[in-house]
Chain A
Amino acid sequence: MRLSVVAAISHGRVYRRFGLSPRSRLDLLRNLVTALVRHERIETPWARADEMRGYAERLIDYAKRGDKDERAMRMADFWLTEKDLVHKLFKVLAPRFQPHPGSYTRLLQIPNRDGLDRAKMAVIELKGNPLPPLVRPRRDSDKTLLNQLLKGYRQDAQRAAAA
């Protein structure tokens, strides 16, 4: 049981500090969540994207409960500042992610920002969005040396087993 809070030591604190105050941090993250639900893919500093990811996924978990649920509606009302996105959340995103148990977002790092600060940037997107894909899944080519050697070994093994 915590009898005192030592302000100078931050062992075990998981939340990053953003903005001017805790309230400002929540407003910042709320803006990012709204932008993600609206555009389905946003590019922001990596720390903000990482922090926002948890909140966005929990919001979708709440939305999966259905819009009749009082808590889900209050959460959506707080976290989405543009109220037409509440409709999009419950009618588009919740059915889209119904079969998936979790991890509705993808976080990828991009080259550092071009400005003076060279900040570490990331792009965060909802899975299943209609936009062009960021990373193409690479199937291993059969023509690489290792795969040719393995193929030869497999053929030798089959010939030895047949004979």
Chain B
Amino acid sequence: MKLDTSGFETSVPTIGFGSSSDMLDELSSVPSFDLPHTKEFDGFQKKAVDMLKHAKGTTTLAFIFKGGVMVAADSRASMGGYISSQSVKKIIEINPYMLGTMAGGAADCQFWHRNLGIKCRLHELANKRRISVSGASKLLANMLYSYRGMGLSVGTMIAGWDETGPGLYYVDNEGGRLKGDRFSVGSGSPYAYGVLDSGYKYEMSVEEASELARRSIYHATFRDGASGGVASVYHVGPEGWTKLSGDDVGELHYHYYPVPPAIAEQVMEEATAE
């Protein structure tokens, strides 16, 4: 169906780069925006969103501290505006001493992490020693780089403990690989960073670090619509990883901000007085 889009076109031609006399024209002209070149105008947006398929919205974080590596994530998967699952496992257990986090396409992250686990095991068998975190993240980054531009969506962190101590790498579908000691990935990451950065101290104990991680995820789920469900927190130490907690963020809210019973009664009284 051909729509009448004449109302969207502007009468003023587009401005050349760096010509100052056109500035006034730019301000006074009706803004024009690009329309998709498709015959199916109504279905186009849905198709574009559908292509993202699952878990683009998420909050995951990981940081290194004195006691090892702390990894945490939410568990919501959304398909556009529909919450397709509240119980997605976003922290993937690659092997007993390495964890991967999932952000982006759920199928992509699940498949490539499983594949990475297989590659790590083969390395162990071939070399009679465990693979380093640096090596594992490089394997994943190289695999993803070879699929660059084909539409994979993976924003993952590889956290583990090897001979050199705790290790944390960020790997994404562009083939980027960054070594660091504090990362947060996903639509809720700005909120998580805020809480994480302000409370972070290298000398934290395991309990303090896990509480900081849990709080950061909770605050991200509070403000970001695409994050929610259960906040899981894992700790990676010299002996491997252990799951420290899994709390429903709805319940965490009332745990952090309990409703004082006195105020509730006051409000009720005022209402009946009027």
A and B: interacting chains: no
Chain A residues proximal to chain B, CB less than 8 Å = none
Chain B residues proximal to chain A, CB less than 8 Å = none
